[in-house]
Amino acid sequence: MLEKIHSPADLKKLPAADLPQLARELRERIVAVTAKNGGHVAPNLGVVELTIALHRVFDAPRDSIVFDVSHQCYAHKILTGRGERFDTLRETDGVSGFCSRAESECDAFGCGHAGTALSAALGIAAARDRLGGNEHVVAVVGDAAVTNGATLEALNNVAAHTRRLIVVLNDNAWSIDRNVGAVADYLNRLITTDFYNDATSGLRRLIAKFPCGEHLIRAGSAWKQEKKQVITAGASPLFENFKLRYLGPIDGHDVAQLESYLEFAKKSPRPILLHVRTQKGKGLPVAEEHPDRFHGCAPYDPATGLPAAKRAGTPPPWQDAFGKTLVRLAEKDEKIVGITAAMSAGTGLCFLKKAFPDRYFDVGIAEGHAVIFAAGLAARGLRPCVAIYSSFMQRAADMVMHDVCLQNLNVLFCLDRAGLSPQDGATHHGLFDIAMLRAFPNLVVMQPKDEDELADMMFTAFSRGGPMLIRYPRGAAPGVPAKSVPAALEIGKAEVLREGDGRVCIWSLGAMLPQAEKVSERILEETGARPTLVNARFVKPLDAELLERQAAAGARLFVTLEDHALAGGFGSAVLEALSLRGVGVPVERVGWPDVFIPHGSSSAALRSRFGLDDDDVAARVVSRVRALL
């Protein structure tokens, strides 16, 4: 069937009898490509029938279909002209893993973070109304996104800003971890009540007894409209009180039923919400059993679910080092607690969850709330650790400033994925946290070179108190075991790893140390200068005294290396410190340019493209050294 589909128009021509086969082929294609390239497996397998129904009922790109997060857009991409290129998913110059307006006009809105779809769709609908259009606007919102503040803010405004908007609530009971909180409990009650189950099965049995009853059931016509009134009357005061008509729950894997409800929604004279129930990971047994592991994953074996073989001797990832260290520290300090925004495994807080479940808090996809919640815990004397991906912390910058830093509360922020996140691309690169947060008074910003230094920094944060932030990258850590007893670091003091002749000083931040060492070797080989190598440790406060001493001792060039945007980053902090002290030594900054970095097959591929691989950086720095010596 897939060979016949090059656009949504081709999909509409298929007879209904062919749709189950099409759904199977879509799942097979998604599994085959993600097994090779990695990606968001379980979310995409769960929405195959829903995506088929959406594109059979609506006319993209004229009608706008806005996917929340868009980590469930793979079937959408295949059905909208990108099927032949789908093998390049998440590869350099290949198909993006998320919706992208630059990639296709069928991608009505680009995103990679939760909670954006409803606000964006409402804006598109309001613009349509203002411009006199009559096209349809559909927001496909995950149940996890309903716990997000932006979604609730949008719900509050829907009825005030448009009379025509279709919201599809894709309810699979999971975000990345299993959904938590009152909204999750509420949606679960809607689909598990005896009333709903009895009404559904009872009506189906009753209608089946009539002549052509089975046909009516499959067609989803008159009896379904009657069933809607029975099942949904008063069933969802939550959405009805926001002035959205509520229909459901609906079987998200029955294309005929979905098409019937979507056609009905097109005629609604007021905003309408369809509550669609799906199974995350459907069609791949290991993903059905472990939807959390297969939310987003590296290449894997579809038969076993095991990750593709790792290179022998690869150390555990940074998040595991963080999570295990937090447990060690929590064993000695009962005031330490951990907070995640629906990502216990991804951040490493799963270790605390297992060791001290009563000291572990999952707030759902609500990063802003997580930070203010941590501030409240700290105000009563606890020592909260908030573990969030760097790119997701962008959503809570105001709370970090207003609720933590302004009150100088004892909150530790641990930012995973700080730096490049290659396959996910621009929405997930952690390239802006330093620039975004280092201006906040009272906040200490650190980055370790290895696991041992990470443990020292965490110990320092809990010992000293005040707002503290530690950033570290995605992927395997260097493999340096932590000491049995961590050591407290002197705040704002860098570590001189190797003294040179004083003419060139290389300041490396965190995981950039291996590249700094290679650059240092090339400088010595090609110029004869023996660089001084510094592990910066602290972005704020920066060790400005060491910078000044090195300048006074005859430094001719400072080189800074960071896995961060150059604008406002670590190198900028060094420039500022030198300028404030009246030091005129040139600075060669190595970091990411002032553009949004796209997705790529690997960090190495992207570094090569932007002139940031080891050879390019070394050549550039050597050229600068030769010009100055």
- Please report which confidence band the pLDDT of residue 337 belongs to, taking 50, 70 and 90 as the band edges: very high
Q: Has 367 been annotated as catalytic? A: yes
Judged by DSSP in three states, 337 sits in strand
Among 62-71, 305-314, 570-579, the least confident range: 305-314
- Indicate which residue of 27, 395, 540, 607 is catalytic: 395
Residue 425 has pLDDT above 90, yes or no: yes
Q: What is the pLDDT of residue 67?
A: 95
d(CA 42, CA 171): 13
d(CA 530, CA 221): 80
- Please report which confidence band the pLDDT of residue 403 belongs to, taking 50, 70 and 90 as the band edges: very high
Q: Binding site residues for Mg(2+), as ranges?
A: 143, 172
Q: What share of the chain has pLDDT > 90, as a percent? A: 78
Q: What is the pLDDT of residue 208?
A: 52
**pLDDT tens column, 449-485:** 999 999 999 999 999 989 999 999 999 999 999 999 9
**For 123-169, what is the HEC assignment?**
HHHHHHHHHCCCCCEEEEEEHHHHHCHHHHHHHHHHHHHCCCCEEEE
Q: What is the pLDDT of residue 297?
A: 83
Q: Has 526 been annotated as catalytic? A: no
CB 148 within 8 Å of CB 369: no
Q: What is the pLDDT of residue 222?
A: 38
- Please report which confidence band the pLDDT of residue 265 belongs to, taking 50, 70 and 90 as the band edges: very high
Residue 500 has pLDDT above 70, yes or no: yes
State the average pLDDT over residues 117-132.
96
CA neighbor of 176 nearest in space, from 396, 367, 373, 398 = 367
- Please report which confidence band the pLDDT of residue 296 belongs to, taking 50, 70 and 90 as the band edges: confident
Q: What is the pLDDT of residue 234?
A: 41
Q: Strand runs (DSSP E) across 52-163, as ranges?
A: 64-67, 137-142
Cα-Cα end-to-end distance for the chain: 67
- Indicate which residue of 49, 91, 259, 367 is catalytic: 367
Q: Whose structure tokens read 């047994």?
A: 285
> Which conformational region is residue 528 in: left (phi greater than 0), alpha (psi within -120 to 50 degrees), or beta?
left
Q: Binding site residues for thiamine diphosphate, as ranges?
A: 71, 112-114, 144-145, 172, 367
CB 239 within 8 Å of CB 229: no
For 155, how many CA atoms within 13 A lie in the half-sphere containing its CB? 23
Residue 583 has pLDDT above 50, yes or no: yes
User: Hey, what's the torsion of the CAs at 458, 462, 468, 474, to 10 degrees?
Assistant: 20
Q: Has 293 been annotated as catalytic? A: no
- Indicate which residue of 277, 280, 417, 537 is catalytic: 280
State the average pLDDT over residues 134-143.
93
State the average pLDDT over residues 254-272.
95
**pLDDT tens column, 148-205:** 888 999 999 999 999 999 999 999 875 455 555 555 565 555 554 443 444 344 445 5
Judged by DSSP in three states, 136 sits in coil
Q: Cβ contacts of residue 2 below 8 Å, gap of 6+?
A: 22, 25, 26, 29, 78, 83
d(CA 70, CA 114): 8
Q: Binding site residues, as ranges?
A: 71, 112-114, 143-145, 172, 367
- Please report which confidence band the pLDDT of residue 145 belongs to, taking 50, 70 and 90 as the band edges: confident
CA neighbor of 57 nearest in space, from 320, 356, 286, 258 = 258
State the average pLDDT over residues 499-526.
97
Q: Whose structure tokens read 């670091």?
A: 489
Residue 381 has pLDDT above 60, yes or no: yes
> Which conformational region is residue 500 in: left (phi greater than 0), alpha (psi within -120 to 50 degrees), or beta?
beta
Average pLDDT of the chain, as a whole number: 90
